[in-house]
Amino acid sequence: MDNSFRAWSECAADLVAVAAGRRPADLVILGGQLANVHTREILRWDVAIAAGRFAYVGPDASHCIGPKTEVLRWSGYVIPGLCDGHMHVESGMLTPAEFARAVIPHGTTTMFTDPHEIANVMGLPGVKLMHDEGLMQPVNIFTQMPSCAPSAPGLETTGYEISAEDVAEAMQWPGIIGLGEMMNFPGVVNGDAQMLAEMAATARAGKTIGGHYASPDLGPAFHAYAAGGPADDHEGTCEADAVMRVRQGMRSMMRLGSAWYDVETQITAITEKGLDPRNFILCTDDCHSGTLVQDGHMNRVVRHAIACGCDPLVALQMATINTATHFGLERELGSIAPGRRADVIFTSDLRELPIQRVIARGKTVALAGKITTECPHIAWPAEARNTVHMGAKKSAAEFAIPAPNGAVDVAKVRVIGVVENQAPTQALEA
């Protein structure tokens, strides 16, 4: 993280002085229609920024302007930077720096990432590499310590097996926000000692336990899983899934990624059933680089939620303040309010959400769809670049399926049935 970016407590005196008019702001935004996600209002309010944080948010910021203050006049909407509550950088086939470069022009200023793909291959050293590069970026990248490598013990082999000790160690790192999705839900339900120990280490650190309950069974098994400690879940695929999760005090994370289209089937819990939206969060989970280039990132998810009948301000809450609150960061980000990180988007339309300007920590980082900042890289070591070891050279014949009983070209085989735009699959024979 940029060492010049100070904690709220360290720059409170400066913020107070700017808000009171005793000291000029670094940046003032005049004339915008501000989306207040705390009250779900559109307000004709100005914004004054100092030390990368909001100092004054109110009807007239003229008293915050000095001779060296940068002044931006904007008559459109001023909304908080967007937050992705659950995602994997590796799904974009990019490093954290390049992923940041891809999504910043789309208005994403905060990401909660679970690098379990690199954990599968390199273990804790790989997670540390992702974590360290994430902290270097001009936007906020928080890392969840992966919980399950392998995700299904006994059914797969991985390059590394995460232990409860690894989880406890990672909880001390500055950018670790919690435990990544607890994919081994059968282990939790059956009282697996390691899974419980990982969640206990996270709870002792006062951090958030991510969930992953990939089953349609909402009976005692689901209740047992919830009792273990996961605070959210993104694996829901229907309204009943979303409803049951929030009724159990979990956050329902509704995802729209490159392959998962689970918002439309669950958002009816809000739009039709009328449940309180504060416990619902929008996320992407997995975005291929092609999706990022062609369609967008969290702006795409918010647009989609609105197209599914969600009120635009509710959709914004689910991509900003709800996410920040879930991770204990409501006083740090997720809204345009005094003291928070000055992450702001300029847009001319709340429904279509074109991203005209992106400000992160008080500095313009993208303009008219083009990035205007640097995204620093770590020096990736050789061991992170050479991890695929096939052993003996493979031939096509090794993948042939022998036909039984002397048949030439016919065999019954097990195949995976794809459920279009959802994560669950079918066990079929063909």
> pLDDT per residue over 287-297, tens digit each?
999 999 999 99
- On the question of pLDDT at 3 being above 60, the answer is no
Encode pLDDT of 307-348 as tens digits: 999 999 999 999 999 999 999 999 999 999 999 999 999 999
> What are the residue boundaries of the structural domains of the chain, listed by start?
81-333
Q: What's the whole-number mean pLDDT along residues 216-232? A: 98
In the prediction, which pLDDT does 4 show? 58
* The one-letter amino acid at 270: I
Annotate 91-153 with DSSP letters as a single string: GGTS-HHHHHHHHGGGTEEEEEE--HHHHHHH-HHHHHHHHHHHHTSSSEEEEEEP--SSSSB
Question: Can you list the positions of beta strands (E) in 284-350?
Answer: 344-347
Per-residue pLDDT of 134-161, as tens digits, reads 999 999 999 999 999 887 778 888 888 9
Which has the minimum average pLDDT: 355-364, 386-395, 397-406, 410-419?
397-406
Q: How far apart are the first and last CA of the chain?
A: 53
For the cut 60, the answer to whether the pLDDT of residue 110 exceeds it is yes
Global pTM value: 0.94
pLDDT at 153: 77
How far apart (Å, rounded) are the C-alpha atoms in residues 220 and 306? 34
Confirm if 38 and 321 have CB atoms less than 8 A apart: yes
DSSP string, 182-193: E--HHHHHTT-H
Range name among 71-75, 189-193, 381-385, 391-395 with the lowest pLDDT average:
391-395
Average pLDDT, stretch 393-417?
83
Q: Tell me: the pLDDT tens digits for 228-269? A: 999 999 999 999 999 999 999 999 999 999 989 999 999 999
Q: Whole-angstrom Cα distance, residue 204 to residue 328?
A: 15
Which of the following CATH numbers is that of domain 81-333: 3.20.20.140, 3.40.50.620, 3.10.20.30, 3.40.50.11900?
Answer: 3.20.20.140
Has residue 1 got a pLDDT over 70? no
User: What's residue 392's pLDDT?
Assistant: 86
> By the 8 A CB rule, do 250 and 241 touch?
no
2 falls in which pLDDT band (50, 70, 90)? very low
User: What digits encode the pLDDT tens for the residues 363-381?
Assistant: 999 999 999 999 999 999 9
- Residue-level pLDDT at 389: 83
